[in-house]
């Protein structure tokens, strides 16, 4: 088994987030989930990178911007899209 890690799931479909969350938690990982890119950035800043501050965002945030803002927050994010 691999070492437990923190994972952030970002998808606008609740069923997909729930399935992935349950699967990863059963494997012992800590899981955070977000329904939008903006919510994902908030989680990165508040929970996964305590004490960090980022740019103030408003409106639509796409996945590429989340990846750009997450630089240095942990392991390289992966995408299955």
Instruction: For residue range 36-73, list pLDDT tens digits in order.
Output: 988 998 888 887 655 555 544 444 455 656 666 665 55
Select from 3.40.50.300, 3.40.50.280, 3.40.50.2300, 3.60.20.40 the CATH code of 6-69.
3.40.50.2300
State what percent of residues in the chain have pLDDT above 90: 36
Tokens of 8: 């952030």
**Long-range CB pairs of 47-55, under 8 A, 24+ apart, other chains included:** 48/6, 48/8, 48/73, 48/74, 49/73
**Residue 22 has what pLDDT?**
95
pLDDT score at 10: 93
Contacts of 27 (CB under 8 A, 6+ apart): 1, 4
81 pLDDT band (50/70/90 cuts)? Answer: very low
How far is residue 3's CA from residue 37's CA, in Å, rounded to a whole number? 27
Q: pLDDT: is 3 or 28 the higher one?
A: 28
Q: Where are the alpha helices (DSSP H) in 1-81?
A: 14-26, 37-43, 63-69
């Amino acid at each position: 088994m691999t070492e437990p890690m923190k994972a952030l799931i970002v998808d606008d479909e609740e069923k997909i987030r729930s399935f992935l969350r349950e699967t990863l938690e059963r494997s012992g990982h800590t899981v955070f989930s977000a329904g939008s890119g903006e919510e994902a950035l908030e989680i990165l800043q508040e929970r996964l990178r305590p004490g960090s501050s980022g740019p103030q965002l408003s409106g639509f945030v796409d996945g590429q911007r989340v990846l750009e803002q997450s630089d240095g927050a942990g392991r390289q994010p992966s995408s299955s899209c």
